[in-house]
Structure 1
Amino acid sequence: MSEDIRWEVVEESALTLPDHEAIAAMLGQAFPDWSHWYVGGRDYAGMQPERRVIGWGADGVVLAHLGIRRMFVTVGGEDVLVGDTGLVAVSPSLQGTGVGRELLVRTKAVLEGLRVPYGLLGTGEDRVPFYARCGWHELEGAVGTFSAFTADGVGVTETEQGGWMVLPVEGQLEDWPDGEIMLNGQQV
């Protein structure tokens, strides 16, 4: 099936309104509990990505998506440059077919091109094994704090334990600092 997908890395400013609408439609299907966020052209619920990895179907439907934004996070008091990675989704009809793995292979190439020391993502504990099989490393017991926005636009501080993962890009895993992760803003 992945041979039927046209992969593209897109800078945020190059996306058109129909692109945003197609992304939002797929994200709403992939995250049904959050589908109220992804309406019209609203295709992100936190920090707007700067780059997106998108897998398009022949009919113009988005089949896979991931957003990345470079930012500094504070880990144990030390600032660390990361490629914050989020909005990771594969169309429900293609989950389990290898498309997600292909999405993450392409993502690593984008992170390498951005020359960041690490990719960083927060995920649910049930998805940690998938990312680990794709080269990401769970930060055991890590606690992360970030600003989240409600559907009404009100900012709230969220703290989550577990599910924080890094992908060494130009940095080494053993150089990742110990301590709480402070995103000092929103997640992608």
Structure 2
Amino acid sequence: MTDDIRWEVVEESSLSLPDHEAIAALLAQAFPDWSHWYVGGRSWSGMQPERRVLARDQDGVVLAHVGIRRMFITVGGRDVLVGDTGLVAVSPRLQGSGKGRELMERTHAVLDGLAVPYGFLGAGENRIPFYAKLGWHEFPEVVGTFSAFTAEGAGITNTEQGGWMVRPVAAALEDWPAGAIWLNGQEV
């Protein structure tokens, strides 16, 4: 089954309703605690991605997904352009098969193609080692603030320490500014 996987990079505006439904189905499986977000054609939970990396089987079932959006965030009082990366998911039946690594390698190629200074993502504590092995750097003491929208649309300010990760793309990690992160909006 894994030999029949078709990888693609798609722009958000080229996705059809069935595409969004297929992505939402994967995200509901991958994030069962948040499955109430991913119903029907709702294939995002915060900021809608600009580009997506998808893996599909021969029937069009989405087996792996990541969303990326270019945006400015404020770090230590300085605006920084990033490729905000999120909604990283691999079908539970393929976890441990190397498809997550392949998904992130393809994600890195998209970030490189966008020529953003940095890739940026917020990761749960149990996912940090996976991303770190792939070149992402965590800032464990850094506090990040963002708008966390509920499934009903109400926005609330959320602040979290740790789990903020950066991957150098067109800039050096040493040039990442020190200080708190302010997203002034949602995460992908």
The normalised TM-score by structure 2 is 0.98
Other-structure match for 2:9: 9
Aligned residues: 188
Alpha-carbon distance between aligned partners in 2 of 1:33 and 1:140, rounded to the nearest angstrom: 24
Please state whether the residue corresponding to 1:104 is helix, strand or coil: helix
Other-structure match for 1:40: 40
Return the offset for 1:128: 0.2
Alpha-carbon distance between aligned partners in 2 of 1:3 and 1:50, rounded to the nearest angstrom: 28
Which amino acid counterpart does residue 38 of structure 1 have in structure 2? Y
Other-structure match for 1:175: 175
Return the offset for 1:58: 1.2
Other-structure match for 1:95: 95
Which amino acid counterpart does residue 80 of structure 1 have in structure 2? V
Which amino acid counterpart does residue 98 of structure 2 have in structure 1? G
Q: Do residues 104 (structure 1) and 104 (structure 2) align? A: yes
Return the offset for 1:3: 3.4
Which amino acid counterpart does residue 66 of structure 1 have in structure 2? V
Superposition RMSD in Å? 0.8
Other-structure match for 1:155: 155
Alpha-carbon distance between aligned partners in 2 of 1:143 and 1:108, rounded to the nearest angstrom: 25
Please state whether the residue corresponding to 1:23 is helix, strand or coil: helix
Runs of 4+ in structure 1 deviating by more than 2 angstroms, as ranges, are 1-4
Other-structure match for 1:72: 72
Alpha-carbon distance between aligned partners in 1 of 2:145 and 2:161, rounded to the nearest angstrom: 9
Alpha-carbon distance between aligned partners in 1 of 2:106 and 2:159, rounded to the nearest angstrom: 29
Does the 8 Å CA contact 1:2/1:98 hold for their aligned counterparts? no
Q: What's the CA shift string for 1:111-131, capped at 9, x where partnerless?
A: 011110000000101110000
Alpha-carbon distance between aligned partners in 2 of 1:183 and 1:136, rounded to the nearest angstrom: 19
Which amino acid counterpart does residue 146 of structure 1 have in structure 2? F
Does the 8 Å CA contact 1:148/1:156 hold for their aligned counterparts? yes
The normalised TM-score by structure 1 is 0.98
| Identical-pair percentage | 75
Alpha-carbon distance between aligned partners in 1 of 2:166 and 2:123, rounded to the nearest angstrom: 11
Return the offset for 1:2: 4.6
Return the offset for 1:65: 0.2
Other-structure match for 2:59: 59
Alpha-carbon distance between aligned partners in 2 of 1:169 and 1:135, rounded to the nearest angstrom: 10
Q: What's the CA shift string for 1:40-78, capped at 9, x where partnerless?
A: 000001000000000011111000000000000000000
Which amino acid counterpart does residue 121 of structure 2 have in structure 1? L
Alpha-carbon distance between aligned partners in 1 of 2:58 and 2:38, rounded to the nearest angstrom: 22
Other-structure match for 2:129: 129
Alpha-carbon distance between aligned partners in 2 of 1:162 and 1:169, rounded to the nearest angstrom: 21
Does the 8 Å CA contact 2:140/2:161 hold for their aligned counterparts? no
Please state whether the residue corresponding to 2:128 is helix, strand or coil: helix
Does the 8 Å CA contact 2:29/2:35 hold for their aligned counterparts? yes
Other-structure match for 2:139: 139
